[in-house]
Structure 1
Amino acid sequence: MRTGMFALALGLLALRFLPALPQVGWLLVLPVVVLMMLPFRTYPLAFFLLGLGWACLSAQWALDDRLVPQLDGQTRWVEGRVTGLTQQSAGVVRFELSDSRSRKDKLPKLMRLVWHGGPPVHSGERWRLAVTLKRPSGLLNFHGVDREAWLLAQRVGATGSVKDGQRLAPARYAWRDSVRQKLLAVDAQGREAGLAALVLGDGSGLAPEDWRILQDTGTVHLLVISGQHIGLLSGLVYGLVAGLARYGGWPRRLPWLPWACGLAFAAALAYGLLAGFEVPVQRACVMVGLVLLWRLRFRHLGTWWPLLLALNAVLILEPLASLQPGFWLSFAAVAVLVLAFGGRLGPWRVWQAWTRAQWLIAIGLFPLFLALGLPVSLSAPLANLFAVPWVSVVVLPLALLGTMLLAVPVLGNSLLWLAGGALNGLFQALAFLAGQLPAWIPAEVPNWLWLVSLIGAVLLLMPAGLPFRLLGWPMLMLAVFAPREDIPDGQVEVVQLDVGQGLAIILRTRHHTLLYDAGPRFGDFDLGARVVLPSLRKAGIAQLDLMLLSHADADHAGGAASVARGLPVKRVVGGETEGGALFLEPQPCISGEQWQWDGVQFQLWQWSDARSGNQKSCVLQVQANGERLLLTGDIDRETERALLATPLAVSTDWLQVPHHGSRSSSSWPLLQRLAPRAVLLSRGHGNGFGHPHPQVLERYQQMGSAIYDSAEQGAVRFRLGAADTPVTARSQRRFWRTPATERYQNHVPAT
């Protein structure tokens, strides 16, 4: 039976790695095949196929519920009910709409909407909204968060921007929203949003700086409702009943163990209901329930049995949970503790068990952080050493008790004031620790090296008497000091990042790195910090030799300050030296300036008669082994005419499309002179500017240029000077990714 359960788990988990889902017909035939295999000794294979079939069928249902392509970008009147807790900040309202309906069109069951400048929207209300609909999408880079996977795991079938709307019915059964409003209204010493996150799982009110501190110290799990909080509450209830039974305070006619397990599970469900009972909370409740069942009836089966049952139960209830990093981290952390504490010849003391648990989790999860592309907190073992008991014993009980007693203002407000003060003190300590040891983003490692580090981590989790156990340290360190891929002299690696409606291009030679533009920043939405800086670190780049900002517009220079804070920058050059989104003081762009790095030639140009910021864009030409790349920023037709009179106006292999494909750029004279074999187009999906203009696209297609569009294909990477075949992020097939449009016939002609 255990073998069958293990095979079932493998089948359910296999969904995460499928490039495409099988045809629905095969999924319908699969149950018959499984039934035919069960009487034979191939039952593990039958369980594997059963798990895989159910996971694929559930994923197909989610894909079928996505917005149809014909409605992408269309505006429709939609009716539906607001579900979950809404997010309102800086005049922007974000919320989810369920049971959505339209008169003529079939819509997904669940949509995530944003309303700029809209009125307050509360959970439980019914609205009629004019929404510009979009298919689920997101930025797609070689490393980082895959938003399409996240949206599918949440079963969100569409996103959209609200243009107008009217409330049809007031809120009903919105008690969670009412509790949140009360929590935000109390005096919690400035930590009201933190208490709302801890009690309700609503982290929307936390400031970006708070999230950075939590990430740097590896304590994000403390401010989102996780298995730790639910397990703690159920453990307190279980311990209370056990303590009463031990000292004679529990009724003798009631068997204490079943009651302790039942009440503990009821407490877990109540806390989960308070938190909205979303997938992570469901996972925690299932795990707690199975542990309590194991404690009640099945302790003789060993500690691995409830973990395996919980894994299968979670994935059967929601097969798409495996698309979320939190799923892997939570189960891996429990598995690490079971492996580390099981099979010991003698028990550790309490303080030894607690301190060693933190270090063992850090070691055991390190390969998983590498595989998921997540930042690694160097201070997490130390931070969790004091943060976990402080939140568990002090902050959380005060916050929950204060919330329960809000009907008695004197008691409830006082307890929440104390909880807020305790939480504020914790944040101050974590902020100090984060300042000393910020999160580390490890460079990408080859698959074989990652496997060696995994084996090393497993060795280190074994008991001390195991032969060759200490070999785990050098095996683990191989991933930390992974060899960096060498770029031959005379070549440059070019990566156009997917930063939406903006631009960021990394140019890396053998020993030097240049960043051309740093991505957009609009308010707290800083893609320099979210995309550009992590991508540089994942590439193993320790410093920038030059940051070249074409001009000062927010979509090109907005992320520069975040990049400069995260990495040393030897020199900053800009087409504009002041104004706009510049948070730095760049040196001016000097036309005709040339230099050479590792056999690669670089040259700058700027129009001397430029009047506007776009016209002042600093243009960069790169030559490597006879291949040319021209980066143009946001130059317009007038600037292009001036460029034609310079030495840069020669046959060019790669061209960055000026001004994101605006109608005011990419003139015929420029294209005919440059005759680009391929072009790089950086823009946002469904952007409000209409980029790229259809006429501009038609020009490039008539030229026979291969078009690499970030909105359609994600990030693109190639070697200039090596006649290299470009690789796009979307070419890495995953079943949840929308295929790139077929309007781009991308074949780069040979040089």
Structure 2
Amino acid sequence: MRTGMMALALGLLTLRFLPVLPPVWLWLLLPVLGLMCLPFRSYPVAFYLFGLSWAGANAQWALDDRLAPELDGETRWIEGRVTGLPHQGEGVVRFQLSDGQSRRARLPEHMRLAWYNGPPVKSGERWRLAVKLKRPVGLLNPHAFDYQAWLLAQRIGATGTVTAGERLAPARGAWRDAIRQRLQAVDAQSRSGALTALVLGDGSGLSRDDWQVLQNTGTVHLLVISGQHVGLLAGVVYLLIAGLARYGCWPSRLPWLPWACGLAFSAALGYGMLAGFEVPVRRACLMIGLVLLWRLRFRHLGAWWPLLLALNGVLLLDPLASLRPGFWLSFAAVAVLLFTFGARLGAWRWWQTWTRAQWLIAIGLCPILLVLGLPISLSGPLANLLAVPWISLVVLPPALLGTFLLPLPYVGEGLLWLAGGLIDGLFRALAMLAGKVPAWVPAAIPLWLWGIGALGAFVLLLPKGMPIRPLGWPMLLLLAFPPQSKLPEGIAEIWQLDVGQGLAIVVRTRHHTLLYDAGPRLRELDLGERVVVPTLRKLNIDGLDLMLISHAHADHAGGAGAVARAFAVKQVISGHPLEMPPQLDAQACESGRQWTWDGVQFRLWQWSFAGDLNQRSCVLQIEAQGERILLTGDIDAKAERALLDSSLAVPTDWLAAPHHGSRSSSSMALLNGLQPKGVLISRGLGNSFGHPHPTVLARYRKQGMAIYDSAEQGAIRLHLGRFEPPWTMRQERRFWRDPPPPNP
């Protein structure tokens, strides 16, 4: 039976690694093949096929529920009900709309909407909204968070921006949102957001600084992922009833064991529902339920059997859970603890158990965090050593009790005030620790090297005294100090990052790195901080020799501050240095300036008679082994004519589309003068500017140019000097992504 359950789990998990989904008829055939295996006692094969079929069918249902392509970009009036917990901050309300209906159009069951400068929206309300609909997409960058996979895991079939709306019905049955509003109204010593995260699993009230502190110290799970708190609450209830029965305080007419198990599971289930019933909570509730059920029958369940059943239970209820990073971290952390403390000879003292658990979890999760592309907290073991008991034993009891006693005047509010003060003290201590030891974002490494490091972590988790255990350290340290591969002399690696409606291009030679523009910043969204900085770290870049900002518009220069804070930048050049922040100490772009890095030549140009910021864009030409690319910023047709009179007016292989392909740029004169064979377009999908303009695309196609569009193909990598076609992120196939468009 256990082998069958392992095969079922393997079948359910296979979905995560499929590049494409097979046709529907195959999903229908797999269960039939599984049934045919049963008479031959091939139970593992049958269970594997059952799991794969169920996971694949669910994925296909979720993909079929996405917004129809013909509705992408349209604005429609929609009626629907607000579900989940809406988030309002910095001038925008974000919420989920379910059961949306529109005339003459089928809509997805769940949609994620944003309403800029909109009114307060409450869960359970029914609204009529004018929404500009979009198919669920996300930015695609190397080793970055996959937003499109997260949307599919949440079964979000469309996103959209609300332009107008009216409330049709008040909130009904939205008890979680009502509790959140009560918690936010309480004086919790400025920590109501942290209390809401701890009690309800809703981290929207935490500030960006709070998130950074939690990430740097590896304590995010304490406030948002509350699986361990569910187990703690169930254990407290069980031990309380067992203690009352032992000392004769429990009613004799009531058998204490069934009541203890029933009330413990009810407490876990109730807190799980309060916390949103996410994957870690489901895992905890399933494991608790199994342990209590076996306890009622006076049987020893063991450690791994509940984890395996919980894994299958979570995946059967939601096969797309494997697309979420939290799923892997939750089950991996429990597996590390079971492996660490299971079948050991001799007993550890309590303080040895607690300290070793933190370090061993850090070692065990290190390969998981690395493959998921998440930061690794170097201070996590020390921080969790203090923070876990503080939150679980000191903060959580008054927080939960205060929440349930809010109807009583002063009592509930007093307990929450106390819990808020306790959390505030913890955050102050964690902030001091995070300031000294920030999180580590390791560089991406090849799969074979990751496998060696993962094997090293496994060896280190073996019991003390195993002869091969010391070999684990050098194997694990390969993850931190991987062998470096240098670009050949005379070759430049160029990454055009996917930053939406903006531009950020990374240029690397053998020993130098240049960043051309730093991505956009709009309101609270800083793509320099969210995309450019993490990508540079994943590319194993620890400093910039030059940051060249073409001009001072926010879609090109908005992320420069975040990049400068994260990396040592030796020099900053801008097409309009007076408009740049003073701390960047930007220098002016000098036409005619040129230099050579590792056999790669660089030349600058700027129109001296420019009339606006776009025309003053600093243009960069890069040449490697005779292959050229021209980075043009936002110059228009007038600046392009001036460029054709400069020394840069030579045959060019690749052109970064001027002004994102706007109608006022990419003139036929420029295309005829440079004769590029391909163009790289950086823009946001469905942007309000209409970039790239259809007439510009027609010019590109008339010239026979290959078109590489970040909105359709994600980040684009070009090895200049090899005369090879670029590689795009969309070529890295995943079943939830659309295939890359064909090129002429």
TM-score range, shorter chain: over 0.9
Aligned 1:60-99 pairs, distance under 5 A: 60-99=60-99
SS of residue paired to 1:473: helix
TM-score, normalization: structure 1?
0.97
Letter matched to residue 648 of structure 1:
L
Q: Distance in 2 between matches of 1:51 and 1:557?
A: 49
What do the CA deviations read for 1:349-368 (whole angstroms, capped 9, x no partner)?
11110110000000001111
User: 1:702: which partner in 2?
Assistant: 702
Aligned 1:562-581 pairs, distance under 5 A: 562-579=562-579
User: 2:174: which partner in 1?
Assistant: 174
Q: Distance in 2 between matches of 1:190 and 1:330?
A: 30
Matched, 1:367 2:367: yes
TM-aligned CA distance change 1:582 to 1:717, over 3 Å: farther
Letter matched to residue 260 of structure 2:
A
User: 2:330: which partner in 1?
Assistant: 330
User: 2:229: which partner in 1?
Assistant: 229
Letter matched to residue 543 of structure 2:
Q
Letter matched to residue 352 of structure 1:
Q
Using the TM superposition, give the Cα deviation of residue 118 of structure 1 relative to its aligned residue in structure 2, in angstroms.
1.3
Using the TM superposition, give the Cα deviation of residue 247 of structure 1 relative to its aligned residue in structure 2, in angstroms.
2.3
Using the TM superposition, give the Cα deviation of residue 553 of structure 1 relative to its aligned residue in structure 2, in angstroms.
1.0
Aligned 1:472-483 pairs, distance under 5 A: 472-483=472-483
Matched, 1:434 2:463: no
| Structure 1 unaligned residues grouped into runs of 5+ | 747-751
Matched, 1:530 2:536: no
**1:403–1:416 contact (8 Å) kept in structure 2:** yes
Using the TM superposition, give the Cα deviation of residue 579 of structure 1 relative to its aligned residue in structure 2, in angstroms.
2.6
Q: Distance in 2 between matches of 1:145 and 1:627?
A: 33
Letter matched to residue 130 of structure 2:
A
Aligned 1:281-296 pairs, distance under 5 A: 281-296=281-296
Letter matched to residue 189 of structure 2:
Q
**1:634–1:660 contact (8 Å) kept in structure 2:** yes
**1:552–1:582 contact (8 Å) kept in structure 2:** no
Aligned 1:401-420 pairs, distance under 5 A: 401-420=401-420
Letter matched to residue 701 of structure 1:
R
**1:578–1:585 contact (8 Å) kept in structure 2:** no
Using the TM superposition, give the Cα deviation of residue 93 of structure 1 relative to its aligned residue in structure 2, in angstroms.
0.9
Q: Distance in 1 between matches of 2:44 and 2:719?
A: 46
What do the CA deviations read for 1:398-444 (whole angstroms, capped 9, x no partner)?
11111111111311111111111111111111111111111111111
Matched, 1:390 2:410: no
Matched, 1:249 2:228: no
Aligned 1:487-506 pairs, distance under 5 A: 487-506=487-506
TM-aligned CA distance change 1:298 to 1:98, over 3 Å: farther
Using the TM superposition, give the Cα deviation of residue 298 of structure 1 relative to its aligned residue in structure 2, in angstroms.
7.3
**1:402–1:416 contact (8 Å) kept in structure 2:** yes
**2:366–2:376 contact (8 Å) kept in structure 1:** yes
**2:580–2:586 contact (8 Å) kept in structure 1:** no
TM-aligned CA distance change 1:581 to 1:145, over 3 Å: farther
Aligned 1:561-600 pairs, distance under 5 A: 561-579=561-579, 584-600=584-600
Using the TM superposition, give the Cα deviation of residue 580 of structure 1 relative to its aligned residue in structure 2, in angstroms.
6.3
**2:280–2:330 contact (8 Å) kept in structure 1:** no
| RMSD between superposed Cα atoms in Å | 1.3
Using the TM superposition, give the Cα deviation of residue 527 of structure 1 relative to its aligned residue in structure 2, in angstroms.
1.1
What do the CA deviations read for 1:631-687 (whole angstroms, capped 9, x no partner)?
011111111111111010111111110111111111110011111111111111111
* Identity rate, percent: 69
SS of residue paired to 1:251: coil
Deviates more, 1:192-201 or 1:621-630: 192-201
User: 1:377: which partner in 2?
Assistant: 377
Q: Distance in 1 between matches of 2:475 and 2:196?
A: 42
Deviates more, 1:380-389 or 1:172-181: 172-181
What do the CA deviations read for 1:81-106 (whole angstroms, capped 9, x no partner)?
01111111122111110011111100
User: 2:146: which partner in 1?
Assistant: 146
Matched, 1:618 2:625: no
**1:557–1:581 contact (8 Å) kept in structure 2:** no
Q: Distance in 1 between matches of 2:284 and 2:133?
A: 34
Aligned 1:46-57 pairs, distance under 5 A: 46-57=46-57
Using the TM superposition, give the Cα deviation of residue 290 of structure 1 relative to its aligned residue in structure 2, in angstroms.
2.5
Q: Distance in 1 between matches of 2:298 and 2:616?
A: 73
Letter matched to residue 141 of structure 2:
N
Q: Distance in 2 between matches of 1:294 and 1:454?
A: 34
Q: Give the paired residue count.
A: 744
**2:291–2:301 contact (8 Å) kept in structure 1:** no
**2:517–2:548 contact (8 Å) kept in structure 1:** yes
SS of residue paired to 1:361: helix
Q: Distance in 1 between matches of 2:291 and 2:427?
A: 32
| Structure 2 unaligned residues grouped into runs of 5+ | none
Deviates more, 1:585-594 or 1:321-330: 585-594
Using the TM superposition, give the Cα deviation of residue 562 of structure 1 relative to its aligned residue in structure 2, in angstroms.
1.0
Using the TM superposition, give the Cα deviation of residue 301 of structure 1 relative to its aligned residue in structure 2, in angstroms.
4.4
Aligned 1:334-373 pairs, distance under 5 A: 334-373=334-373
Deviates more, 1:210-219 or 1:576-585: 576-585
User: 1:101: which partner in 2?
Assistant: 101
Aligned 1:727-742 pairs, distance under 5 A: 727-742=727-742
Letter matched to residue 473 of structure 1:
W
Q: Distance in 1 between matches of 2:615 and 2:67?
A: 39
Q: Distance in 2 between matches of 1:585 and 1:398?
A: 51
Q: Distance in 1 between matches of 2:675 and 2:254?
A: 86
**1:226–1:284 contact (8 Å) kept in structure 2:** no
User: 1:630: which partner in 2?
Assistant: 630
User: 2:643: which partner in 1?
Assistant: 643
**2:90–2:524 contact (8 Å) kept in structure 1:** no
User: 2:452: which partner in 1?
Assistant: 452
**1:552–1:581 contact (8 Å) kept in structure 2:** no
Matched, 1:162 2:162: yes
User: 1:6: which partner in 2?
Assistant: 6
**1:552–1:613 contact (8 Å) kept in structure 2:** yes
**1:199–1:225 contact (8 Å) kept in structure 2:** no
**1:631–1:656 contact (8 Å) kept in structure 2:** yes
Using the TM superposition, give the Cα deviation of residue 732 of structure 1 relative to its aligned residue in structure 2, in angstroms.
0.6
Letter matched to residue 415 of structure 1:
L
Using the TM superposition, give the Cα deviation of residue 306 of structure 1 relative to its aligned residue in structure 2, in angstroms.
0.7
Letter matched to residue 631 of structure 2:
L
User: 1:749: which partner in 2?
Assistant: none
Using the TM superposition, give the Cα deviation of residue 447 of structure 1 relative to its aligned residue in structure 2, in angstroms.
1.0
Q: Distance in 1 between matches of 2:290 and 2:535?
A: 40
Matched, 1:275 2:278: no
Q: Distance in 2 between matches of 1:376 and 1:143?
A: 14
Q: Distance in 1 between matches of 2:260 and 2:145?
A: 41
Deviates more, 1:581-590 or 1:230-239: 581-590
Deviates more, 1:238-247 or 1:664-673: 238-247
